[in-house]
Amino acid sequence: MATQTIVILDFGSQYTQLIARRIREQNVFSVVLPCTVPLAEIKALNPLGLILSGGPSSVYDADAPAADPGILALGVPVLGICYGLHFIVHHMGGKVLSAPKREYGHAEVQIEDSTAKLFAGLPEVLQVWMSHGDEAGQLPAGFRRIAVSANALAAIENVERRIWAVQFHPEVHHTPLGSKLIKNFIFNICGAAGDWTPAHFIESTVNAIRDRVGKGHVICGLSGGVDSSVAAVLVHKAIGSQLTCIFVNNGVLRKNEFASVQKNLREKLGLNIVAVDASERFLAQLAGVTDPETKRKRIGAEFIAVFDDEATRIAEQTGGVDWLVQGTLYPDVIESSSVKGPSQTIKSHHNVGGLPLEMRLKLIEPLRDLFKDEVRRIGRDLGMPEDILGRQPFPGPGLAVRILGEVTPERVALLQEADEIVVAEIKSAGLYNSIWQSFAVLLPVMSVGVMGDQRTYAYTAAVRAVHSEDGMTADWTPLPYEVLKRISSRIVNEVRGINRVVYDITSKPPGTIEWE
Ligand code: XMP
C-alpha cells in the first residue's frame, strides 16, 4: 500500500518542522522539502496535499526563495501559511503589500464564513499567533476572504482551484485550535485516511529493506542509544541473520553499559552482536590528552579503525558486506537540506562513527523519515524494552568529554561510580523521563575535606541536569533539594576519591550541555 503523503515546502520558517509534526500526530505522513525542489520531485511523491510554510522573506525581496509557481497548478489541495499566503497571492495575480503595522504575537481572528471547509467545527472567533510584516492587499481572481484580524486579512480560499491560505500560524501551540484547522485540511479537504500508524510504518519499512537488500549482508554500529538500537531491530526484523551489529566498548561508556546493552539487544531481542572490548586501544589513544577537540578526534579516528577491522573480519566470514545501517533521523535530514544558512561549528564531531571511507558501503537509514518521539513509538511497537527507548542522549565520545583534563582508567572508574548514583537517584525520584540529560562531570580540582577524623584531599564532581527540546538550547533543571542532597551525600560517601559535589546552574547558551 502506497503511503499517503502531505508535502510541506519550506520557505525558511522556524516553525516548518512543527507543521510536519502536527500532521504526523494525526497518523498522516508528511515530508518537508526545500521550496526550491524541482516540480518533478514533488510529483514523484504523488502528494495528497501541499502546504507552503511561512518564511522570513518578502515576496518582493531580490533573494526571495525561488520556488516554482507550478506548485500551485499540481491539482492537489494547497494550504499556504503566512509567507505561503503571500506566495499564492503574488503568483496568482494579486498584490502583496508591506503592512502599515507589523503584526507579531497573539491576535484574534474573526471567521467570516463558518461554512468554509477549513473552519469546520471552529468557533467564530479564533485565538491565533501572527508573525508577519507583509499582507495581502488585492486578492487574485477567484479568491475570496474568509477571515480577518484587527489589522489584516487572515484567511482566503479558492474552492475551485482547491487553494486555501491563512496569514496566522496554525501549527504553533499559541494557536490553541490550530490542530483542528490542520485536521480540516488534511482530512476534510485532502481526504487523508489517517493510517500512518507505527504498525504501517514497520510493515512498509521492513518490506522495503527486504527488497533492497536481497541476499546481501548488512552491518550496523550499535551505540546503545535509542536510534541505532531501533534501526538495528527494524533491519533485523527484515533480514534476520543477514545483519551483524558491531558494538564497541570505547572505554568511556557508562558503568555496566557494555554488558547491559548486549543483554538487552542480544538476549531480549535476538540481535546478532559482535561485541568488541577495545577499551585499552581507546584509553591508550587518550593518554596524556587534555584538549577536548583532540579527545573527540582521537576517539572518532579510533572508532573508525576498530569498526573497520571488525567489518573486514565479518566480510571475510560472510563472503562480503554490502550495506551499512545508520540511525539518521529526520531533523538531521531537514537540517542538511534546509534553506537556512550554515550554522557555526561549536564542537566538532557530534556524530562519532560514520562510514569507514574505504569500505564504500551502501547506506540503509530506516529512521530518516522520523522524529525522535516517533522512533520511540516505533520501538515500543517492536517490543523493545523501556530502558533502551527512554534513555537520555549520551555523547559519542562518552565520559571522555565529562572528565576534564586527562582521561585515565582511574578517573573513568570514579566518574562511572558518580554518574551511576546521579542517574539512579534521578530515576528513583521519578524525574528521569522528564529531564533531557542528567549526569556527573569529573573536575580535576582537588579540595580538602574531612571524613570521620580523617583529612581528605580529593576530586570534585559537578552534577548537571538540563531541560531541552532538541539539545540546541537548554535550561538547567531546578532539581528538588532533597534529590540534590541524596546525590551529594551518596557520591561523597560511596565514591572514594571524590569529596566535594557542586551543581551546575548554567543554561545553554551561553554554556553548553557537556562541559567539553
Ligand atoms: P553541547 O555540549 O554541544 O551538547 O551543548 C548538545 C548535545 O549534543 C551531545 N553531544 C555530543 N554527541 N558527540 C555526540 O554524539 C559529541 O561529540 C557530542 N558533544 C555533545 C550532548 O550530549 C547534548 O545532547
105 and 248 share one domain: no
**Cα–Cα distance between 497 and 482 in angstroms, integer?**
23
Q: Is 504 in the pocket of ligand 1 (CB under 6 A)?
A: no
Burial 483-511 (b: 16+ CB within 10 A, else e): bbebbbebbbeebebbbbbeeeeeebeee
Instruction: Say what the pLDDT of residue 343 is.
Output: 38
Within the chain, what is the greatest distance between any pair of CA atoms?
89
Instruction: Say what the pLDDT of residue 340 is.
Output: 44
Atom of ligand 1 nearest to the CA of 393: 24
244 and 371 share one domain: yes
* Residue where a domain terminates, one of 189, 213, 233: 189
CA angle 352, 404, 342 (to 5 degrees): 45
Best CA proximity match to 142, nearest among 88, 180, 102 = 88
* Residue where a domain terminates, one of 389, 418, 440: 389
277 and 220 share one domain: yes
183: left (phi over 0), alpha (psi -120 to 50) or beta: alpha
* Residue where a domain terminates, one of 389, 416, 440: 389
Domain presence at residue 305: yes
Cα atoms found within 13 Å of the Cα of residue 90, Cβ hemisphere only: 21
Q: Is 351 in the pocket of ligand 1 (CB under 6 A)?
A: yes
The C-alpha cell that represents 25 in the structure block? 500526530
**Cα–Cα distance between 386 and 384 in angstroms, integer?**
7
The C-alpha cell that represents 36 in the structure block? 526550491
Closest Cα to atom 17 of ligand 1: 350
439 and 340 share one domain: no
Best CA proximity match to 441, nearest among 385, 377, 498, 396 = 498
Closest Cα to atom 22 of ligand 1: 395
How many angstroms separate the alpha carbon of residue 350 from the centre of ligand 1? 6
DSSP annotation string for 457-504:
EEEEEEEEEEE-SSSSSBEE----HHHHHHHHHHHHHHSTTEEEEEE-
Instruction: Say what the pLDDT of residue 512 is.
Output: 96
The C-alpha cell that represents 432 in the structure block? 528521569
Of 226, 345, 513, best ligand 1 pocket probe by most atoms within 8 Å of the beta carbon:
513
343 and 261 share one domain: yes
**Cα–Cα distance between 386 and 273 in angstroms, integer?**
20
Closest Cα to atom 21 of ligand 1: 395
Instruction: Say what the pLDDT of residue 442 is.
Output: 98
Is residue 349 part of the annotated active site? The answer reads no
Query: Do residues 450 and 483 make contact, with C-beta atoms less than 8 angstroms apart?
Result: no
Domain presence at residue 360: yes
Output the domain CATH number for residue 293: 3.40.50.620
Of 291, 347, 476, best ligand 1 pocket probe by most atoms within 8 Å of the beta carbon:
347
Best CA proximity match to 153, nearest among 139, 163, 170 = 139
Output the domain CATH number for residue 100: 3.40.50.880
Is residue 203 part of the annotated active site? The answer reads no
Is residue 280 part of the annotated active site? The answer reads no
Best CA proximity match to 113, nearest among 77, 156, 142 = 156
300 and 426 share one domain: no
Atom of ligand 1 nearest to the CA of 472: 6
Q: Which of 86, 90, 169, 236 is catalytic?
A: 169
Write out the E strands in 53-159: 78-81, 95-111, 125-138, 144-149, 153-158
Best CA proximity match to 261, nearest among 251, 252, 250, 273 = 273
Handedness of CA 374, 474, 399, 285 (dihedral sign): positive
DSSP at 345: P
Output the domain CATH number for residue 497: 3.30.300.10
413 and 498 share one domain: yes
Atom of ligand 1 nearest to the CA of 347: 3
Instruction: Say what the pLDDT of residue 167 is.
Output: 96
Domain presence at residue 508: no
| Secondary structure, 3-state, 146-193 | EEEECCCEEEEEECCCCEEEECCCCCCCCCCCHHHHHHHHHHHHCCCC
223 and 357 share one domain: yes
117 and 158 share one domain: yes
How many angstroms separate the alpha carbon of residue 236 from the centre of ligand 1? 28
pLDDT per residue, tens digit, the chain (516 aa), is 678 999 999 999 989 989 999 999 999 999 999 999 999 999 999 999 999 999 999 999 988 998 999 999 999 999 999 999 999 999 999 999 987 777 889 999 999 999 999 999 999 999 999 988 898 999 999 999 999 998 889 999 999 999 999 999 999 989 999 999 999 999 999 999 999 999 999 999 999 999 999 999 999 999 999 999 999 999 999 999 999 999 999 999 999 999 999 999 999 899 999 999 999 999 999 999 999 999 999 999 999 999 999 999 999 999 999 999 999 998 887 766 654 433 344 544 444 344 554 557 999 999 998 988 899 999 999 999 998 999 999 999 999 999 999 999 999 999 999 999 999 999 999 999 999 999 999 999 999 999 989 999 999 999 999 999 878 889 999 999 999 999 999 999 999 999 999 999 999 999 999 999
Domain presence at residue 401: no
DSSP at 51: E
Range of the domain at 35: 5-189
H/E segment holding residue 450: strand 437-451
Cα atoms found within 13 Å of the Cα of residue 134, Cβ hemisphere only: 24
Instruction: Say what the pLDDT of residue 338 is.
Output: 54
Q: Which class for 256: exposed (0-12), middle (13-18), buried (19 or more C-beta within 10 A)?
A: exposed
289 and 383 share one domain: yes
Placement of cell 560472510 in the chain? 318
**Cα–Cα distance between 112 and 503 in angstroms, integer?**
55
**What does residue 485 show for φ and ψ, rounded to 5 degrees?**
-65, -45
Domain presence at residue 225: yes
Best CA proximity match to 376, nearest among 198, 133, 514, 135 = 198
Helix 198-213 to helix 372-381 angle, to the nearest 10 degrees? 90
How many separate domains does the chain show? 3
Domain presence at residue 294: yes
Closest Cα to atom 7 of ligand 1: 471
281 and 430 share one domain: no
250 and 312 share one domain: yes
